[in-house]
Amino acid sequence: MASDFKLVLPIRPRRLRRTASLRAMVEETVLRPADFIAPLFVVEGKGKPDPIASMPGVNRFCIRDLVKECRELHRAGVPAVALFPKLDPKLKNDEGTQALNPDTLVLRAVRAVKNAVPELTVITDVALDPYTSHGHDGVLNEARDNVANDRTVGILAEMALLQAEAGVDLVAPSDMMDGRVGAIRRALDGAGYTDTGILAYSAKYNSAYYGPFRDAVGSAQAAGMKLLSKATYQMNPANRLEAIEEVLLDVAEGADMVMVKPAGLYLDIIREVRNATNRPVVAYQISGEYAQIHAAAKMGWLDLARCRHESLLAIKRAGADLILTYFAKDMARVLQG
């Protein structure tokens, strides 16, 4: 009878799955609030938090409310925030000159956060897309058919200096220009900011999943420019070996941490990068990844809490030391119990 059938098995993996306590004892990957970095959007004024329709639960904050959010994140055990400004379109131009204003929005936000929550690590984006009228990450050449790499790098180095002066802990060049990490490191060191770290967006892919973020910072128009695509500087999603080359170049130029972006769609790249360097590896669970989980949960097709946890667990299991995620505060609170 089938009911009497017995296997003689010296090894039964299910033995260690039998109870919750046994499963916890042999769990290989564990999420902690300290694993998360919270991306935050800041706007001018004193208005209430401005919800971003394509990113449920995510808001743009005025500086006053940004400080309040940072306090809450710190209490939840999240160690770091990454700040992204949304500027008034009237302040934007082809050259992104507002990025070099010593009193620009993000620098005022940095000062306010560091003054209110000095223990919190503050990270700032080094790229021109929030500041340019065309929405690209750098200035354009005369023909307007390419981003001018070297001239852009010079501007990025000046941006990084201003951010260091404002008190940031890590500057994060997300532009994917060649040579920008080395130029920023030299500028920082030359001005005496040897303690300001660089979190390099080393393997940033030209993903179709950035749409909600571009809505959030007001740079969406760049994705559809007739003569110029972000594919001219962001990486081809088909490429794996190129990611390792980019990471090793950034490490050689002085990057303190390296990033893979997106995260969930590029778990194989996270593992490759983890195997290639001893630098801390950061992964960015991007806006589109966040939005699709929320959208499916809203339709009743997925369990939000379980999918949120599993998605982040997979990123850490792949080799990420730190994860930028819009789930940071909610997940930290859950993990704190």
Active site residues: 204, 261
Q: Count other C-beta atoms under 10 Å from residue 278's C-beta.
A: 7
What single string gives the DSSP state of each residue in 48-88?
PPEE-TTSTT-EEE-HHHHHHHHHHHHHTT--EEEEEE---
C-alpha dist (Å) from residue 64 to 109, 123, 223: 9, 18, 32
- Taking the CA atoms of 131, 286, 209 and 293 in sequence, report the sign of the dihedral they define: negative
Which residues have C-beta within 8 Å of that of residue 174, sequence separation ≥ 6?
Answer: 125, 126, 127, 137, 201, 204, 261
Bond before 79 cis per omega within 30 degrees: no
Question: Are residues 57 and 326 in contact, defined by beta-carbon separation less than 8 angstroms?
Answer: yes
Residues 6+ apart with CB under 8 A from 264: 285, 289, 311, 314, 315
Contact yes or no for 311/318 (Cβ under 8 A): no
- DSSP category for residue 120: S
